[in-house]
Structure 1
Amino acid sequence: MSVRTQFDEQLVALKEKLLEMVYQSKHAIDQSIIALQSQDLELARHIIHQDKEINKLEKEINEIAIRNIVKQQPVASDLRRIIVALKISSDIERIGDLAVNIAKSTIFIGKEPFYASTEAIPQMAKIVQKMLSDSLSAYHEESVEMAYLIAKTDDIVDSMYGDTIQKLLSLMAMKPESIPQLTQLAFICRYLERVGDHVTNIAENIVYLVKGERIDLNF
């Protein structure tokens, strides 16, 4: 087997592990929202426990990337692919951490009845999960157009986050006893907003992968 063939196989392995990371992080976000809505504390604990699988995948990606840089001494375009894989894996790992944070807030809230409607939270989650799925497709297809659309969608998430926080603050003023719970719900909204930011970072790296240009899409 030629050196180039071995290197190409390693690039495929990197991509496959990244796709698995995206799947697992998307699933973690989905499960964390289910745990919140159903106040399923056991599920929340399971999400926290499972985060180690995402961390393991990131470590494997780092090892493959470093091994290829050291052994293969890749040319500029190949080196860019490795660097992008490392950066994307870091953002996906942080998304997994944010799912854990949502689960921790769910445990903090416990079985206490909700003081506020949580309707906006699954709506935000649905949007960021779609962004995450689209980022997987954009990365696989190396589509700059899809990357820009993902970044544009993040504006919707930001707007929803601002509106929901204002409503929660108003409720806190009217019901001081609700502050601990509503603070956790505000945190959850912030975590979902941060998921959108991390997916936008992934979109930026897709643009860099294809065009070799660094563009700030978090505007």
Structure 2
Amino acid sequence: MNTRSHFDQNLKELKDLLMEMARISENAIKESINTLIHQDIEKAEEIIKNDTEIDVLEHEINDKAIILIAKESPVARDLRKIIVALKISSEVERIADNAVNIAKSTLHIGLEKHIKEIIDIPKMMDMALDMLSNSLTAFLTEDAELAKKCAKKDDQVDEMYGKLIRELMGYIQQYPDKMNQITQLSFVCRYIERVADHSTNIAEHVIYLVTGERIDLNA
């Protein structure tokens, strides 16, 4: 195998690890919201416990990237590909952290009856995870235009986040004894909004990979 083929194969393995990490993180977000909806305490505890799986994958990606840089001595665009993969793995790890945070909020609420049916939060989650999917596809295909579209979707998530927070704050007078639940549901909305932010960050890394320029898609 020649040097170019060897590098491409190692880079593919790095990307495969990253996609596996993203798949696990995305699934963790979905499961954490399901635990909230169904108040599944046992599942919430399992999500928190399984967070180490993501950490192991991130360490594996970091180690592989370091070895790739040391052995292949990549320059210019090839080096950017490795650096961007490392940055994206960090964003994906933080997305998984938000799944853990949502599970913890589920535990804090416990079996207390919800003040309202959990309908809009899953919708917001779908929007944020769609952004994640698009930003990762943009990374794999090196599509800067697809990456830029994430900024517009982030605005939609922010708008829904504001709407949900205002709605939750409106329940304070109506349910003064439910302050803990209102607070935790507000946290959950914030955690999902952060998933969208991390997805936008991934999109920014993709644009840097393709163009070599650093831009702020939230500007």
Q: Give the TM-score normalised by the residue count of structure 1.
A: 0.97
Deviations 1:148-200 (A, max 9, x none): 11121010110011111111111113321111111000000000000000000
Does the Cα contact within 8 Å between 1:14 and 1:64 map onto a contact in 2? Answer: yes
Counterpart Cα distance in 1 of 2:173 and 2:26: 34
Corresponding letter in the other structure for 2:138: A
SS at match of 2:118: coil
Moved more, 26-35 or 111-120: 111-120
Counterpart Cα distance in 1 of 2:212 and 2:134: 21
5 Å matches for 1:1-219?
Answer: 1-219=1-219
Counterpart Cα distance in 1 of 2:153 and 2:139: 17
Corresponding letter in the other structure for 1:38: H
Counterpart Cα distance in 2 of 1:141 and 1:76: 18
Moved more, 48-57 or 201-210: 48-57
Deviations 1:102-134 (A, max 9, x none): 000001111110113422110101111111111
**Unmatched 5+ residue regions in structure 1?**
none
Corresponding letter in the other structure for 1:139: F
SS at match of 1:115: coil
Does the Cα contact within 8 Å between 2:61 and 2:86 map onto a contact in 1? Answer: yes
**Unmatched 5+ residue regions in structure 2?**
none
Identity of aligned residues (%): 53
CA offset at residue 6 of structure 1? 2.2
CA offset at residue 51 of structure 1? 1.4
SS at match of 1:61: helix
Counterpart Cα distance in 2 of 1:61 and 1:218: 28
Does the Cα contact within 8 Å between 2:136 and 2:202 map onto a contact in 1? Answer: no
Does the Cα contact within 8 Å between 2:148 and 2:203 map onto a contact in 1? Answer: yes
Counterpart Cα distance in 2 of 1:80 and 1:204: 13
Runs of 4+ displaced beyond 6 Å: none
Corresponding letter in the other structure for 2:136: L
Does the Cα contact within 8 Å between 1:47 and 1:103 map onto a contact in 2? Answer: yes
Instruction: State the Cα RMSD in Å.
Output: 1.1
Moved more, 102-111 or 41-50: 41-50
